Chains A and B, each alone.
Chain A
Amino acid sequence: MAIEMLSSISLFCNLERVLIGYGKKSREISSFEDEAQATRKPSGKSSTVEFEQYPTGPHIASRMLYMAENSFDDVSGKIVADFGCGCGTLGLAAALLGAEYVSGIDIDSQSLEIASQNAEDLELDINLIQCDIRNLGWRGKIVDTVVMNPPFGTRKKGADMDFLFVALKVASQAVYSLHKTTTRDHVKRAALRDFNARNAEVLCELRFDVPQLYKFHKKKEVDIAVDLWRFVP
């Protein structure tokens, strides 16, 4: 038992270390966005604002995937999809923990290119698709587990719930997702009542550092409380 716990802890540490190492890459995208914003005309609608992307930190990613694997057996040997994968943090963490097949889906081609590069650097295989999650043409429960850090819907109301809706349709086993703690009751109600989830459980509350990536952010860096959820479709 003790040995098992120790090896679990070291697994967790390794995963986080690998992700931190490559987290440098995930920061690249934010600087890229700053640059993109700076060069865009103020009148023009910035597409990145529309997508509202926040990179998933290595700590949060390893917490999510570690729990999914060790407490629920939802990763190794499974088909895992990372919705709104960005530069691929969650999907790559799943691949590191032995997922048999990982698919990363994002709307943004630049994020996908970074994800592809990250996968290559880590020598992991991840299958990327450029697609709007809301129009994902998957029928039936084609994947075992969905992991995601959806847009919180600050700009586009309900964007995270659209992701959840689709995730619960395509996953047969579990959906792991992050939602703002302030929306907890709403998320639970929507999942159980509207999306027919069998179970919706907050595994833990995390702090999410949101750097000032977008102009609509008033403060330099905000620390927001998010819930790590596990849904059973």
Chain B
Amino acid sequence: MLSCNIKGVTNGFPLRLEVEKSVEKEVDFNADFLKNMFPKIEWKALVDAARSMGYTELPNEAESQMLDSEEFLKKFHHALLQLHLEEGALICPETGRRFPVSKGIPNMLLHEDEVFDEVYQIESQF
């Protein structure tokens, strides 16, 4: 889940999820980790990603004071760490480029003719 999510968030324009199959994994709950993670996450991207996998419990907006709520943290934990896209694809909203996900592993390899633009894009983000 985070892998797609990281991709989604950090590309600046979150990748859309195309879900064929998603799975839930049991992950130990760690509130400190979630609090540390929260500022690094683009909330809307997480909400959209979770929704496309059928999890609709996350609030549309989130602020850091909500991290004091155990209930909120549990939902955040589930969406961030327990939901995994097993089969499907990540789709670039700008170009429609499809990155397939197979056995839970997203394939983000680029074609040769895509490399220059992408590198430039990465450079310009820093």
Contact = CB atoms under 8 A, between A and B. Distances in A.
B30 A137 contact: no
A193 to B, nearest CB: 17
A107 B10 contact: no
Contacts of A130: 105-109
A209 interface: no
A223 B71 CA distance: 55
B58 interface: no
A77 B125 CA distance: 28
A139 B125 contact: yes
A39 interface: no
Interface string B1-30: 011001101111000000000000101001
B111 to A, nearest CB: 11
A131 interface: yes
A69 B30 CA distance: 19
A50 B40 CA distance: 34
Contacts of B9: 139, 142
Nearest to B84: A127
A77 B28 CA distance: 12
A168 to B, nearest CB: 11
A101 B81 contact: yes
B115 interface: yes
B33 A137 contact: no
B122 A129 contact: no
Contacts of A132: 109-110
Contacts of A77: 30, 32-33
B11 A100 contact: no
Contact of B10 (A100, A112, A142): A142
B57 interface: no
A200 interface: no
A116 interface: yes
Interface in B75-126: 81, 103-110, 115, 118-119, 121-122, 125-126
A169 interface: yes
A215 to B, nearest CB: 25
Given A112-B105, A128-B105, A129-B105, A136 B122 contact: yes
A136 B115 CA distance: 11
A154 interface: no
B2 A129 contact: no
Nearest to B115: A135
B10 A140 contact: yes
Contacts of B125: 139-140
Contacts of A142: 6, 9-10, 40
A135 B105 contact: no
Given A77-B33, A130-B109, A132-B109, A138 B119 contact: no
Given A137-B7, A137-B121, A138-B10, A101 B105 contact: no
6 shortest interchain CB distances as A-B pairs: A131-B108, A139-B10, A130-B107, A127-B3, A100-B33, A128-B105
Interface of A: 77, 79, 100-101, 103, 107, 109, 112-113, 116, 125, 127-132, 134-140, 142, 169
22 contacts: A79-B37, A101-B2, A116-B104, A127-B2, A127-B104, A129-B108, A130-B105, A130-B107, A131-B107, A131-B108, A132-B110, A134-B119, A136-B108, A137-B7, A137-B11, A137-B118, A137-B122, A138-B10, A139-B9, A139-B126, A142-B6, A142-B9
